[in-house]
Amino acid sequence: MSRLIKFTKANVASSLLRRFIQHQNANVLSKSYSAKPSAFNYIIVGAGSAGCVLANRLSEDPSDSVLLLEAGPKDMLLNSKRMMWKIHMPAALIYNLCDDKYNWYYHTMAQKHMYNRVMYWPRGRVWGGSSSLNAMVYIRGHAEDYNRWEKQGATGWNYEHCLPYFRKAQCHELGADQYRGGSGPLHVTRGKTNHPLHVAFLEAGQQAGYPFTDDMNGFQQEGVGWMDMTIHKGQRWSAASAYLRPSFTRSNLTAEVKTFVTKILFDGTKAIGVEYVQGGQTKKVYANKEVILSGGSINSPQLLLLSGVGNADDLKALGIPVVCHLPGVGQNLQDHLELYVQQECIKPITLYKSQKPFKMIQIGLEWLWKFTGEGATAHLETGGFIRSHPGVSHPDIQFHFLPSLVIDHGRVTPYTEAYQVHVGPMRPTSVGWLKLKNANPKEHPIIEPNYLSTETDVWELCQSVKLSREIFAQKAFDKFRGPEIAPGSHVQTDKEIDAFVREKADSAYHPSCTCKMGQPSDPMAVVDPETRVIGLENLRVVDSSIMPSIVSGNLNSPTIMLAEKAADIIRGRPALCDKDVPFFKPRS
């Protein structure tokens, strides 16, 4: 999967590139404006998963003008001769994770509970945001995650109020049912490979005692099964593909790229616009109704802090005038850690040969010609959710299975035939924070996830290793299993597994919760259940940062759902609700 395609400059490749460009140009990519207004009804900062949804939904009303500002480039053409195939080819995802061109390329503080390792955090800086960089796994989390949100102060955000927005967003290839959507903008496909290692993983999971679930986003999350993916006709289906480009036929939507927003403009406590830098020039633009931050769990709190919204003592120390004392801004940072448990394969059936130069060219040419083949999937087509021990109310460990090796975020080329499972706990108890280094908007903030600061988190990761080994030891893998690569046969005792966890665990790229949604009476809440910034007027935050707590799964789908629901709130529409939809509850 990693380093999958390196194109030649041969005429045949150039011809296929032109075909791809022509195919994409069938959609409207952007708009040209001879005269841009200096004020819009809504200004949305960030064209990521949430911002693309809001741009689409808010511009549905022709009487509302909408401006969408993105710090990065378009996800399509830079000019008539170059296109961003790395984003749209599913198998090429590692390129974007390791490239700062479309990526904020964040790094954390040294983690004192992980041998002082500095962790790498890729985040999208392009149309589609991180949905243009991610592994395209479509997971909603568990129903109880949203019921927990409501208990934590996010009134109206329980499962029965969130499920209809998941369905509204989705167009599942298997059609609509009580849980799936069938006509939304976000195309979702089900894993369908016949690869023998994926089949072996599902069989081994059941041999280890876990149920098969036919839809981990439906009635029963718990178990092993085929993954849903945001892939459509062999191409990545990001939020930009689903929501943004289809809305460009509307004259009331303006989308700007390479606009670096540096400050929210206030009149007292009322947000009236933003200041941004574009092409080396500082500009201001004003909002008649609202400014909406959708920059994600790092950028949104950073922009609030730069604008004088946050802990007053911290702001004063940096010489930033205080607009509103909100100590929760940048606090409550939560992320998923994961490990790779890796096994050599004694049969030459993994993706190892697919990563050789000649084979990579073949795969790339097939994808460019037909959008089929090994380039048309991210290869994470099976996975599962299990409970670490009896008595846990809902799954707290997630698996993604891959018939290949990933080493150091894909920055190291695999060296042998092997397969692996990405595994980690879903509801960490370690909580971190982020703060400004200084008042310079171009400086990345200080990011302190505080990983493995609780014994519970360490135990769950160690348990993840043991349970993964148990699955790989099942009969279904007998004809494929070679020596264990990681942790390795020499790692056996609890102390040795603990050391492996601290040395090798890494971010699953799910930062969240830094502008927590809650009640105004909660001193750490940043936005209320209507997504309005507490204590201020005409300012909202809508992205993964407002989650009260992290959900049990990947974050792209929940972020899109969150923005769909917020769009109805902003437009004053009645909240959708699906009452009494059942979901699986374990007996022990």
Active site residues: 510
Residue 519 has, within 13 A of its CA and on its CB side, a CA count of 7
Chain CA centroid to CA 144, Å? 20
* CB neighbour class for 103 (10 Å; exposed up to 12, middle 13-18, buried from 19): buried
In one-letter notation, the amino acid at residue 479 is K
Phi/psi at 15 (5° precision)? -65, -40
Helix axes 494-504, 455-472, angle to 10 degrees: 100
Q: Nearest-CA neighbor of 237 among 319, 372, 134?
A: 134
CA–CA separation, 560 and 567 (whole Å):
11
* Contacts of residue 309, Cβ cutoff 8 Å, sequence gap at least 6: 264, 323, 324, 326, 329, 533, 536
CA–CA separation, 427 and 517 (whole Å):
17
Contact 142, 479 (CB under 8 A): no
Contact 384, 398 (CB under 8 A): yes
**Structure-token match 């993916």, residue found:** 229
* CB neighbour class for 76 (10 Å; exposed up to 12, middle 13-18, buried from 19): buried
Point out which residues pair with 82 in neighbouring strands. 79
CA–CA separation, 543 and 555 (whole Å):
10
* DSSP code of residue 576: P
CA angle 330, 335, 339 (to 5 degrees): 155
